[in-house]
Amino acid sequence: MGETFHARLFINGEFVESSSGKRFKNINPATEEELGWVEEASKEDVDRAVKAARKALQGPWGKMSIRERIQLVRKVGDLILERLDEFARLETLDTGKPLSLSKQLDIPRAAYNFHFFADYLHSVGTEAYQMDQTQLHYAIRRPVGVVGLINPWNLPLLLLTWKMAPALAMGNTVVAKPAELTPMTATLLAEVIRDAGIPDGVVNVVHGFGPNSAGAFIAEHPGVNAISFTGETTTGRTIMAAASRNLKRLSFELGGKNPNIIFADADLDEVIETTIQSSFSNQGEVCLAGSRIYVERPIYETFLDRLIKRTKELVVGDPFDPKTNVGALISKEHLERVKGYIDIARAEGRIVLGGNEPEHMTRGYYLEPTIVVEVAEQCRVVKEEVFGPVVTVLPFDTEEEVIERANDVEYGLSASVWTSNLKRAHRVAQKLEVGMVWINTWFLRDLRTPFGGMKQSGIGREGGMHSVEFYSELTNVTVKL
């Protein structure tokens, strides 16, 4: 990339270096080259960020009218769009995902998060109840306070802004921690926040790792009122324990092992195109990835043949090449983890496509899109989140059976159901133990709808009114008439 990127901390409106002098290297997963340095926030830095955020609640930000505040929130979205190319380039350098995806999905959606919540907050009210003519009850809404936002590396700016936009629109202040592997777009966002005129201290960005680093310091800090966390289920457990000290409000969006259920009467052309997306887009590093594909037996062979044929057309390679469909995985460590699952699949099932690092890519953490069949339902590849371009394709015979198998995992994030039978589609949707069901589609979003998972996939929902509820406190006022 030519020049190197120095990801500094953003505390109280200023870009600063770590008070401990600690910093770490940022690596481009597509080339294994160094991208630059990341400042690792110390406990004191996180404490300063939290204090700045608390102070900012009392400053001009706290005194602004909703109208003034959401104009600033909207401006952040505008400035992201103005700098879309810059953001997209950094996101791709950091993650290894195709530039086309950063340009078409990650960055426009990040901007839309700000635009959407600016609009949404304009018309949010509260509840009021009248009891005969003797009592009147109404609720007033205020910000929760200082909110910690802890983020993963797979959709760095999209997920950070999914939390930040409603938090700000509701009047909170924020201490955000991007994943250690993807610090760049959050740092650029801090610049945009400043340029938009958001007052100092309202948004703070601290870089670092999880345990005994910036993540843990936020989770345990008594001055943080709430945490919205997206990441692994095991990390969620640790954060919950740390956050229990001062009973922080928590919203968790965690892992998934999502079934795609394909009945024989589905539109096969559409299924194949969407399955390609739900299996391999973003290298399969998507919490919503449909990594367990169940196909009704009469069309199983046809589906598998067509999926293999179509998957072979995917181009794995340089994320900056417009022809590339599948880029690099996030890190060497993650690549090894995914390859571990491929070893299990090879031993316990059959790999009909992929399973190797592509020979034409001599540097970077690439993996071929991989299709696994003939594997037992209890195999770890079917039960655990792989978070890479690896899917299992298994046949089923009855509706009851596939529902039982679909629900038989510890996760409960999303599912997609493919059928032209209207009644069956709704019937199955009601029985699946997941937070989101897509019928004859996948990852089709409306930001007003509840987003999140059940079981080990999360706690709470965000989106529309659900985000407003999470990022606000209610006080009920009762009047005796």
**Which are the catalytic amino acids?**
253
Q: Considering the rule CB under 6 A, would residue 211 count as an interface residue with ligand NAD?
A: yes
Q: In whole angstroms, how close is the CB of 464 to ligand NAD at the nearest point?
A: 15
Which residues have CB under 8 Å from 458's CB, separation 6+? 236, 251, 252, 253, 254, 413, 435, 452
Stretch that binds ligand NAD, among 8-16, 28-36, 214-222, 418-426 (CB under 6 A): 214-222
Separation between Cα atoms, residue 443 and residue 368, nearest integer Å: 23
Longest dimension (CA), the chain: 79
When the beta carbons of 185 and 419 are compared against ligand NAD, the nearer one is: 185
| Among 239, 250, 428, 437, contact with ligand NAD (rule: CB under 6 A) | 239
When the beta carbons of 172 and 235 are compared against ligand NAD, the nearer one is: 235
Q: In whole angstroms, how close is the CB of 391 to ligand NAD at the nearest point?
A: 15
Reported in sequence order, the residue ranges of 83-151 that DSSP labels E, i.e. its strands, are: 128-131, 135-143, 146-150
Beta pairing class for 259-262 and 454-455 = unpaired
Which H or E run includes 145? none
Question: Tell me, what DSSP letter sits at residue 284?
Answer: G
Q: Give φ, ψ of 11 to 5 degrees.
A: -125, 125
Q: In whole angstroms, how close is the CB of 442 to ligand NAD at the nearest point?
A: 14
Stretch that binds ligand NAD, among 20-28, 31-39, 176-184, 303-311 (CB under 6 A): 176-184
Q: Considering the rule CB under 6 A, would residue 333 count as an interface residue with ligand NAD?
A: no
CA 467 to chain centre: 15
Q: In whole angstroms, how close is the CB of 330 to ligand NAD at the nearest point?
A: 8
Stretch that binds ligand NAD, among 33-41, 150-158, 297-305, 441-449 (CB under 6 A): 150-158
| Among 284, 317, 458, 464, contact with ligand NAD (rule: CB under 6 A) | 458
Other CB atoms within a 10 A radius of the CB of residue 273 amount to: 11
Q: In whole angstroms, how close is the CB of 132 to ligand NAD at the nearest point?
A: 45
Tokens representing 266? 């589905």
Separation between Cα atoms, residue 462 and residue 448, nearest integer Å: 9
Question: DSSP string of 410-453?
Answer: SEESEEEEE-S-HHHHHHHHHHS-SSEEEES-SS---TTS-B--
Q: Considering the rule CB under 6 A, would residue 468 count as an interface residue with ligand NAD?
A: no
Inter-CA distances, 76 with 82, 104, 113, 116, 157, Å: 10, 18, 10, 12, 13
Q: Considering the rule CB under 6 A, would residue 287 count as an interface residue with ligand NAD?
A: yes
| Among 230, 274, 283, 472, contact with ligand NAD (rule: CB under 6 A) | 230
Q: Considering the rule CB under 6 A, would residue 216 count as an interface residue with ligand NAD?
A: yes
Q: Considering the rule CB under 6 A, would residue 235 count as an interface residue with ligand NAD?
A: yes
| Among 39, 94, 180, 200, contact with ligand NAD (rule: CB under 6 A) | 180
Tokens representing 249? 């409000």
Reported in sequence order, the residue ranges of 8-93 that DSSP labels E, i.e. its strands, are: 9-11, 14-16, 23-27, 34-39
Separation between Cα atoms, residue 338 and residue 29, nearest integer Å: 15
Separation between Cα atoms, residue 157 and residue 235, nearest integer Å: 20
When the beta carbons of 325 and 414 are compared against ligand NAD, the nearer one is: 414
Separation between Cα atoms, residue 158 and residue 452, nearest integer Å: 15
In the structure, how many helices (H) and strands (E) does the chain have? 17, 23
Nearest CA-CA partner of 264 in 421, 427, 437, 430: 421
User: Closest residue (Cβ) to ligand NAD?
Assistant: 210
When the beta carbons of 115 and 257 are compared against ligand NAD, the nearer one is: 257
Stretch that binds ligand NAD, among 230-238, 319-327, 349-357, 374-382 (CB under 6 A): 230-238
Q: Considering the rule CB under 6 A, would residue 40 count as an interface residue with ligand NAD?
A: no
Question: DSSP string of 32-85?
Answer: --EEEEEE---HHHHHHHHHHHHHHHHSHHHHS-HHHHHHHHHHHHHHHHHTHH
Stretch that binds ligand NAD, among 196-204, 210-218, 393-401, 468-476 (CB under 6 A): 210-218
| Among 10, 37, 61, 153, contact with ligand NAD (rule: CB under 6 A) | 153
Separation between Cα atoms, residue 186 and residue 132, nearest integer Å: 52
Q: In whole angstroms, how close is the CB of 234 to ligand NAD at the nearest point?
A: 7
| Among 48, 177, 292, 339, contact with ligand NAD (rule: CB under 6 A) | 177
Q: Considering the rule CB under 6 A, would residue 12 count as an interface residue with ligand NAD?
A: no
Q: Considering the rule CB under 6 A, would residue 156 count as an interface residue with ligand NAD?
A: no
Which residues, 245 to 274, sit near ligand NAD by CB under 6 A?
Answer: 253-256
Which residues, 86 to 145, sit near ligand NAD by CB under 6 A?
Answer: none
Q: In whole angstroms, how close is the CB of 427 to ligand NAD at the nearest point?
A: 26
When the beta carbons of 77 and 156 are compared against ligand NAD, the nearer one is: 156
End-to-end CA, the chain: 69
- For the four alpha carbons of 453, 454, 460 and 463, in that order, the dihedral sign comes to positive
**Which residues bind to ligand NAD, rule: CB under 6 A?**
150-155, 159, 177, 179-180, 209-211, 215-216, 219, 230-232, 235, 238-239, 253-256, 287, 385, 387, 413, 453, 458
